[in-house]
Amino acid sequence: MMPKERYGKLKEYLSLENPILTDVITHYEQLDKLGHSMGFIGYDETYTSHISWWPMISILGTFSAGKSTFINHYVGKKIQESGNQAVDDKFTVVCYGNNEEAVTLPGLALDADPRFPFYNISQEVNKVDPGEGNRVNLYLQLKTLKSDKLKGKILIDSPGFDADSQRDGILRITDHIVNMSDLVLIFFDARHPEPGAMRDTLEHLVATTLTHRDANKVLYILNQIDTTAKEDNLEDVIGSWQRALSQKGLISGNFYSIYNENAANIFEDATQEARLKNKKDNDLAQITERMDKVKIERAYRIIKAVEDFAKTMKEVKIPLLQEALLSWSKKVFWSSGIVLALLVSLFIALEIQFDLSTSFELFTGVLGATIFLFLMLHFKIRNFFARTTAKKWESKDPDVAKAILHKTKWWHTILGLDKSNWKLTIKKQLDELMQQSRTAIQRLNDQFVSPSGHKEEA
């Protein structure tokens, strides 16, 4: 889908939901324009595909912690299989559809649809695990179901990780999911009083989420606390999990304890049951509230992303590109200088040898050929150094590498790059975009928070 078509689709989809977001599409169009002119993204690419336009909640965690059971409960229908064996080893995107019964589509449907957060994920996976991305159907599936709880959001259920499945591909997808999500629920369960067995999974998840700039979107959920009834050791189990998490660096987090009433063991003691149920009801209500509020968080995320993209372009990508272009132009300048010197010497030698200037035609002919040869070699040199410089940058920053190739096309000058003013105008435009994004956030605040009490939350 070309960017233009995509803007239209997004506007149509968002206008029903929140007019402020429709305006934001215009900011994305401006950002794309700058990205295109700098060459950081191709003309058929758009920053709108770098974020998820759906409010997105991901459910990650250890194997058999009760993730699928939780999703079934939230949705109100049995959409996911549950069980103690590995029943599902795929990431499942669950979203609203028109069928009463769940319909399952292959991962390819997600990889190819720009509205979903897994658009082009196969390429991403291929980068870390060559060839693996082509087997995207093994990793991903899409399920649609008619449920009011799913309107305007998507849930992602994930496979239980174990040592075997912890391939780079899975980890890459997990990181991607955490980045794109508005809310991340990390499940582990109270059947294991010692967190030891879950070390690898938790370690990775906590490490991924800790470094995230928006740590508040991550909820840590200790599930199946009904199993602590027997030994009456809820506090001990909670304590040991919290210690395990803090050893991994998590100082304070959103930590909840719940269980699923339908899947729970039968309680032998009524006081125990009342106490655990009370804890669960309280924590579950808070989790559900966050899940229901995700639409609002998504609106902020989409607007904030414009500012982030603009900021990285201004403060990181443009300086890097500038540096790369300068080094390119120096190499081209000196190599072309040497070629020029050689050709001039050759011309003088010919002049001395054959007295070219006696014949006007001969003189201009040889001069023309020499100039032609010089230009040809000059453009070969430009090309050669453009390609080698871009290659050098490819692993560091693919966007900069792309921009190098773009900014070294034949019509771009190699002189005056250090004081050229394209970057001044572009930087000014980026500043304006960041300012617009901040204004949009204020307007969003006005919409949701009303200190005057005139208007309730939309």
Ligand X SMILES: Nc1nc2c(ncn2[C@@H]2O[C@H](COP(=O)(O)OP(=O)(O)O)[C@@H](O)[C@H]2O)c(=O)[nH]1
- From the list 92-100, 259-267, 281-289, 314-322, the region that binds ligand X by CB under 6 A is 259-267
Using DSSP's 3-state secondary structure scheme, residue 144 falls into strand
Comparing CA positions, the residue from 352, 95, 59 lying closest to residue 188 is 59
For 361, the enclosing helix (H) or strand (E) is: helix 360-394
Q: Which is nearer to ligand X, 37 or 260 (CB)?
A: 260
Stretch that binds ligand X, among 44-52, 78-86, 102-110, 368-376 (CB under 6 A): 78-86
Interaction partner, residue 39 (Mg ion, ligand X, none; CB < 5-8 Å by kind) = none
Pick 263 or 340: Cβ nearer ligand X: 263
The answer to whether 228 and 190 have CB atoms below 8 angstroms apart is: yes
- What spatial distance separates the first Cα and last Cα of the chain, rounded to whole Å? 32
162 three-class SS: coil
Q: If contact means CB under 5 to 8 A according to the sort of partner, which of ligand X, Mg ion, none does residue 307 touch?
A: none
Near ligand X by CB under 6 A: residue from 30, 82, 233, 240: 82
> Binding string, 36-65, against ligand X, x = CB under 6 A?
---------------------------xxx
Handedness of CA 61, 64, 67, 68 (dihedral sign): positive
Please report how close the Cβ of residue 280 comes to ligand X at its closest, in angstroms: 9
CB of 258 to ligand X, least distance (A): 7
Task: Confirm or reject binding of residue 272 to ligand X (CB under 6 A).
Answer: no
Kindly list the residues in this chain that would bind Mg ion in the complex (CB under 5 A).
68, 88
Encoding tokens for residue 404? Answer: 């190098």
DSSP secondary-structure letter at 57? E
Question: Could you say which of 108, 238, 264, 426 contacts ligand X (CB under 6 A)?
Answer: 264
Type of residue found at 179: N
Burial status of residue 231 (CB atoms within 10 A of its CB: 0-12, 13-18, 19 or more) = exposed
Q: How far apart are CA 162 and CA 221, in angstroms?
A: 19
Does the footprint of ligand X cover residue 224 (CB under 6 A)?
yes
- Judged by CB, which is closer to ligand X: 266, or 270? 266
Of these partners, Mg ion, ligand X, none, which one is at the site of residue 83 (CB under 5 to 8 Å by kind)?
ligand X
- Which one, 67 or 149, has the nearer CB to ligand X? 67
263 near ligand X (CB under 6 A): yes
Q: How far is CA 190 from CA 80, 194, 236, 259, 285, in A?
A: 22, 9, 10, 9, 19
The backbone torsions φ and ψ at residue 173, rounded to the nearest 5 degrees and listed phi first, read -65, -40
Q: How far is the CB of 103 from ligand X (least distance, A)?
A: 20
Q: Please, what is the minimum distance in Å from the beta carbon of residue 83 to Mg ion? A: 8
User: Nearer Cβ to ligand X, position 230 or 409?
Assistant: 230
**Nearest in space to 1 (alpha carbons), one of 112, 95, 93:** 112
Q: Which is nearer to ligand X, 157 or 399 (CB)?
A: 157
C-beta of 406: minimal distance to ligand X in Å?
A: 46
Shortest Å distance, C-beta 237 to ligand X:
13
Report how far residue 191's alpha carbon sits from residue 223's, in angstroms, rounded to the nearest whole number: 9
Parallel, antiparallel, or unpaired: how do β-strands 140-145 and 91-96 relate?
parallel
22 binds ligand X (CB under 6 A): no
**Partner whose binding site includes residue 254, from ligand X, Mg ion, none (CB under 5 to 8 Å by kind):** none
Q: Is 68 in the site for ligand X (CB under 6 A)?
A: yes
The amino acid present at 64, given as its one-letter code, is S
Supply 297's token pair. 């968080």
For residue 117, state whether it binds ligand X (rule: CB under 6 A): no
Distance CA 378, CA 381 (A): 5
Q: Which residues bind to ligand X, rule: CB under 6 A?
A: 63-69, 82-84, 87, 160, 223-224, 226-227, 259-260, 263-265
